[in-house]
């Protein structure tokens, strides 16, 4: 009876967690449906259309969205997921709309409904500013070319790569793509002209070497057949901004009157390394704090899951052991990245509800860590000599009392170092969850680099912050292990 009761409690906990996640998601859906707050996805590593500056989301798209919302009297919330994640989020119903320099193409029209175009863009090729050998597409033969996935630049480069004999190297954001060319690993890159022009204005060592190719215009997108009221409001607000001249002022504020080949104006003085790092530290420390917060919350639930399934795995009940084994095999066997994408995009898409990002992130980390904690608990219990349980039972102690009073206290000493190690692993795993838009330390670094392009300085600082925290945790684990051995 006690074993059966324990199994039912275990299942009840999992059901409760799932219901909480569902309720939170339904609340978000209800708010958007009532028109109170729309969830808008974007990619804040796409300056000058969207980026972060002084802790605020700015850029052409962000300013347009704010002005249109004010004009049409609606509220919205920006979700900085990244371009690919935002596309999936919109398609799966996690978002109400998307504005991210998104080109209007016939292929995308099959999945999304677009607003009237709000910017006419075009693709150019850029090389290192000191490269005098590459002036045309013919010069790319046999070379590597960097592109950003999901963009017009990627589509154009992919359409001519066979003709001109070059190889594509895909990246998830523009800053990484540009750094690939600046470092000399790739000969050139393709991107939308205003984005490259803005990067060059900021001092990036690139130059445009081709005329602008005709490209698809940018548009605001909603899921096919969904949120038509929001789409109508965007179109109406955009028309009002163009009529009043506010649209032209917003665009000119970021782009001026640049044209291909004329964007190499004198860049502003480059800040010193110390200035770059000091200006980035507030956002990076904020990201580190969020990383630690997500880690602690996830490990709390992982520990509960580990207790439940760990005891099930050492149970005498075959069904309990089977369920626990399946749990461990599934959530240890699925890569964390795939699991996060499945939970955040796959499940809501299949079941038709919105799941808050924090719920998806914590659920992913908790299930993954919970599988490992289950094995830590099982291993700790089974490491205690079986003779102790046999001796306790021979003295008349019930199984449960023997476990609580004799076996578990000894097992905890064995398990503590492994728990600390799992804390370190989960802390590092939060960086993987940034692929679905979770803003933590790694994502904070990406966002900062998208504005200042100081890859070396920012990634060095991020790496040192991880190193310091993880070294402290590792030393704690080592000290606990030594104490356990002496005990």
Task: Classify 356 as helix, strand or coil.
Answer: coil
Examine the pLDDT at 354 and tell me if it is beyond 90: no
Beta bridge partners of 38: 76
Structural contact between residues 463 and 295, judged by C-beta atoms closer than 8 angstroms: no
Banded model confidence at residue 468, pLDDT cuts 50, 70, 90 = very high
What is the pLDDT, as a whole number, of residue 486? Answer: 65
Q: How do residues 130-140 score in pLDDT, each as one tens digit?
A: 999 999 999 99
Closest listed residue to residue 319, CA positions, set 3, 14, 16, 18: 3
**Which has the higher per-residue pLDDT, 84 or 302?**
302
List Cβ neighbours of 21 (8 Å cut-off, separation of 6 or more). Answer: 355, 356, 359, 363
What is the pLDDT, as a whole number, of residue 127? Answer: 95
Whole-angstrom distance, CA of residue 21 vs CA of residue 301: 13
Whole-angstrom distance, CA of residue 216 vs CA of residue 469: 46
Examine the pLDDT at 16 and tell me if it is beyond 70: no
Tell me which of 11-20, 107-116, 188-197 is least confident. Answer: 11-20
List Cβ neighbours of 173 (8 Å cut-off, separation of 6 or more). Answer: 43, 45, 46, 82, 83, 148, 446, 450
Examine the pLDDT at 215 and tell me if it is beyond 50: yes
Tell me which of 14-23, 54-63, 238-247, 360-369 is least confident. Answer: 14-23
Whole-angstrom distance, CA of residue 142 vs CA of residue 171: 19
List Cβ neighbours of 211 (8 Å cut-off, separation of 6 or more). Answer: 124, 260
Tell me which of 177-186, 292-301, 329-338, 451-460 is least confident. Answer: 451-460
What is the pLDDT, as a whole number, of residue 257? Answer: 54
Examine the pLDDT at 260 and tell me if it is beyond 80: no
Domains of the chain: 35-119+218-255 (3.40.190.10), 122-214 (3.40.190.10), 273-486 (1.10.3720.10)
Structural contact between residues 116 and 223, judged by C-beta atoms closer than 8 angstroms: no
Examine the pLDDT at 483 and tell me if it is beyond 50: yes
What is the pLDDT, as a whole number, of residue 384? Answer: 79
**Which has the higher per-residue pLDDT, 27 or 357?**
357
What is the pLDDT, as a whole number, of residue 84? Answer: 84
Structural contact between residues 261 and 193, judged by C-beta atoms closer than 8 angstroms: no
**Which has the higher per-residue pLDDT, 258 or 283?**
283
**Which has the higher per-residue pLDDT, 484 or 172?**
172
Examine the pLDDT at 299 and tell me if it is beyond 90: yes
Examine the pLDDT at 409 and tell me if it is beyond 90: no
Banded model confidence at residue 266, pLDDT cuts 50, 70, 90 = low
- Mean pLDDT over 187-204 rounds to 88
Banded model confidence at residue 485, pLDDT cuts 50, 70, 90 = low
- Mean pLDDT over 144-169 rounds to 92
Examine the pLDDT at 258 and tell me if it is beyond 80: no
Examine the pLDDT at 28 and tell me if it is beyond 70: no
List Cβ neighbours of 260 (8 Å cut-off, separation of 6 or more). Answer: 124, 193, 197, 208, 210, 211, 212
Structural contact between residues 127 and 207, judged by C-beta atoms closer than 8 angstroms: yes
What is the pLDDT, as a whole number, of residue 291? Answer: 94
């Amino acid at each position: 009876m006690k074993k059966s009761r324990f199994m039912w409690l275990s299942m009840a906990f999992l059901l409760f967690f799932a219901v909480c996640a569902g309720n939170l998601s339904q609340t978000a859906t209800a708010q958007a449906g009532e028109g109170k707050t729309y969830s808008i996805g974007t990619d804040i590593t796409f300056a000058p259309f969207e980026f972060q500056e002084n802790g605020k989301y700015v850029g052409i798209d962000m300013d347009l969205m704010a002005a249109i919302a004010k004009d049409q009297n609606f509220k919205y919330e920006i979700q900085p997921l990244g371009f690919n994640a935002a596309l999936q989020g919109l398609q799966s119903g996690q978002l109400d709309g998307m504005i991210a320099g998104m080109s209007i193409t016939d292929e995308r029209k099959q999945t999304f409904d677009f607003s009237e175009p709000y910017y006419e863009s075009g693709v150019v090729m850029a090389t290192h500013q000191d490269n005098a050998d590459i002036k045309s597409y013919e010069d790319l033969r046999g070379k590597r070319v960097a592109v950003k996935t999901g963009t017009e630049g990627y589509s154009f480069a992919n359409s001519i790569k066979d003709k001109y004999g070059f190889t594509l190297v895909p990246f998830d954001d523009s800053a990484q793509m540009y750094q690939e060319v600046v470092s000399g690993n790739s000969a050139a890159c393709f991107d939308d002209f205003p984005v490259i022009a803005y990067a060059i204005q900021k001092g990036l060592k690139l130059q445009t070497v081709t005329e602008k190719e005709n490209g698809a215009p940018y548009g605001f997108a909603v899921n096919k057949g969904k949120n038509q009221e929001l789409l109508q409001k965007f179109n109406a607000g955009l028309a009002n901004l163009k009529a009043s001249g506010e649209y032209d002022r917003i665009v000119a504020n970021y782009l001026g009157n640049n044209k291909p080949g004329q964007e190499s104006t004198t860049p502003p003085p480059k800040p010193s390394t110390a200035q770059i790092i000091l200006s980035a530290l507030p956002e990076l420390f904020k990201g580190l704090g969020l990383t630690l917060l997500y880690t602690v919350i996830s490990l709390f639930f992982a520990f509960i899951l580990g207790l439940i399934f760990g005891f099930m795995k050492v149970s005498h009940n075959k069904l309990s052991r089977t369920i626990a084994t399946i749990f461990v095999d599934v959530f240890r066997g699925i890569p964390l990245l795939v699991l996060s994408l499945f939970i955040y995009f796959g499940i809501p898409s299949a079941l038709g509800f919105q799941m808050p990002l924090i719920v998806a992130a914590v659920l992913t980390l908790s299930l993954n860590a919970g599988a490992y904690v289950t094995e830590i608990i099982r291993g700790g219990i089974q490491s205690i000599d079986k003779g102790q349980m046999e001796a306790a039972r021979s003295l008349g102690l019930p199984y449960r009392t023997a476990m609580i009073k004799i076996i578990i206290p000894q097992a905890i000493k064995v398990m503590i170092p492994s728990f600390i190690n799992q804390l370190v692993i989960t802390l590092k795993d939060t960086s993987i969850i940034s692929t679905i838009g979770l803003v933590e330390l790694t994502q904070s670094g990406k966002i900062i680099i998208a504005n200042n392009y100081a890859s070396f300085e920012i990634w060095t600082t991020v790496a040192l912050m991880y190193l310091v925290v993880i070294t402290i945790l590792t030393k704690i684990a080592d000290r606990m292990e030594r104490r356990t051995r002496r005990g």
